[in-house]
Chains A and B, each alone.
Chain A
Amino acid sequence: MDDDLKTSVKGRILQVADLPTLPDVLEEVTRLVEDPDASTEAIAKVISRDQVLSAKVLKMVNSPIYGFPGRISSIQHALVLLGFNVIRGIIISTSVFDMMVLNMKGLWEHSLGCATACNIIARRAGFEDPEEYAVAGLLHDLGKVVTAVQLPDLHATIVATVRDKDLSYFQAEKEVMGFGHDRINAWLARHWGLPPNIREAMARHHAPHLAEFYKPMACVVHLGDFLVRLFEFGNSGDDQTAYLRPEALLELKFKMSDLDRVMDEMAEQFIEVSDVTF
């Protein structure tokens, strides 16, 4: 039974053809792509706030058609390589949620908060290309969005289970489906040809100690997710406290003082980001 469910869920998830997003970012990007003077940097900055648009752009640039599959994990690079016409095409063909908007707003904020946190953590840890860690943070709950769009009934059951049994969203997913959005992330990332570092961080953000090749990135996203929940910035589907794996801090060689610094910086940046409305 479990395996049958998994196969059918996977089938539905990978069939996702038209992933909607929230109207505000889409409107802003639409305005930018219609403006001939808008720079790619400006467009990249706005797209980097939206998990669905970011995922679409990365999926496109990493598709075999462009000839360098799985190589690009930065939105800025993706825009340079896709070019204005293709970006415009992606934006024009993206629709907005007609339902669930309120639900999704919390998740969008949580994802943006996590992206911001990952950028700060990666810089604190001295890693190169912190914006790629931000991309991984932005996409870490994409599986939840796709489930809500493709399997609305299952999604409703998970939401009800969170409420009725006082569970975290992740625990409720496991109770209802037998697996979580981390698994769904792995399917999506592989199917869309996303780069292996992003893929592993998306798939391992709940179990970073199991990451095989890109453990630092998985640990950054794990910590980012934990901290953004601590700040109660946005909502990822429940009000539970998440578990922080000590291995993640060890991997990043973080002491308490590092965490303090990261949280100070998060507090500062969240004031800026909270101007962003979804």
Chain B
Amino acid sequence: MSQTLEKSLFQRGQTAFLLSPDASLAAMLRALWSPDVLSFTVFEKGGKAIEHLFNDPPDLLIVDNRLADIPAVEVANLVKSENVYRQLPVVMCVDPVDVETPWNWNVIEVDDFLVRPFNPSEVRDRINLTLCRAMRALDANPLSKLPGNTSIIQRIQQLIDAGEDFALAYCDLDYFKSYNDKYGFSRGDEVLMMTARLIVNTIRSYHGIMSFVGHVGGDDFVFILPPDKAEDACQRIIAAFDDIVPHFYDPDDRKRGNITSVDREGKTRIFPLMAVSIAVVVNTGGRITHYGEVSSIAMELKKKAKENPRSCYVIDQRQV
């Protein structure tokens, strides 16, 4: 029943706390995963676990409603009321009698619950799903809902480890800051949403190939494509962006083709309309062995792309 980490759903071994006096529950859970995939630390009393939980939070918390010293709901809420621990998924174990009357899930902020008698394969998949869902939710960019840094790094490392050829593109917007300063954050967010949508749809229009789009944060986006598609994608993104972005300016600024805003030193300056700069790192023949190399090459290329105030792309031409 238990798998190796490589074949599991997770990038690294997961840790879980089980707060339960029920020894058979602990035994069942431990039998479902190999300890390198998901290892359990069991606490028979809830009170003892709290400090551990706060000092060294696990990837998953399972709380049994049979705890004698503290109600499961209280443990769950203790975790969920603190912003730094909120993302920790909590699964509650209950007896059938506990679910006879409806629960107020707005007050009890658990992520899932399991009802006795437990069906081991259901428990396994419910918990796997809870962990996967938590990872997705944790990493998604709050604005665009695209995968964030953790997923981006994971994806790149996966491709490197698998020895697959790929092109990784870093996109960012020129003069986004001055737009934000002049029009305010919510108009800035509109531009980011538009950019996200545009990149996603351009990348998705290549059918049947490996691809990925992520949102590093702010006006920084990333996409991954096979090397032979990268240049075409850059050209299409730039064409669409340059075509659409003027519509996000007020008519006067759009007609003038620039905006008057305040620069980093506080001086009033004229800024061009926003443009998109793309730096593409191509990894063929396993030239790159670590994620860090990708990002350092990309940062160098980005400087080059940024020298041009118009939308442009720079592709890493170095050969093996």
Contact = CB atoms under 8 A, between A and B. Distances in A.
Q: Is the interface of B mostly helix, strand, loop or mixed?
A: helix
A151 interface: no
B204 A67 contact: no
B197 A83 contact: yes
Measured as residues with beta carbon below 8 angstroms from the partner, the interface class of chain A is: 10 to 19
A77 B247 contact: yes
A84 B201 contact: yes
Contact of B204 (A66, A77, A81, A84): A84
A184 to B, nearest CB: 26
B201 A71 contact: no
Given A66-B193, A67-B190, A68-B193, A83 B243 contact: no
Q: Is the interface of A mostly helix, strand, loop or mixed?
A: helix
B181 to A, nearest CB: 19
B176 to A, nearest CB: 15
A80 interface: yes
Nearest to A68: B190
A71 B248 contact: yes
Contacts, number: 50
B49 interface: no
B139 interface: no
Given A80-B198, A83-B201, A67 B193 contact: yes
A71 B244 CA distance: 9
A254 B240 CA distance: 33
Nearest to B237: A80
Interface residues of B, number: 21
B116 interface: no
B200 interface: yes
B32 interface: no
B308 to A, nearest CB: 23
A73 interface: yes
Contacts of A80: 198, 201-202, 240, 244
Contacts of B137: none
A72 interface: yes
Contacts of B200: 83
Contacts of A77: 240, 243-244, 247
8 contacts: A36-B207, A40-B205, A72-B244, A72-B247, A74-B247, A77-B244, A80-B202, A81-B194
Given A68-B190, A80-B202, 8 more contacts: A66-B193, A68-B194, A77-B240, A77-B247, A81-B194, A81-B198, A82-B197, A85-B204
Interface of A: 36, 40, 66-68, 71-74, 76-77, 80-85, 128
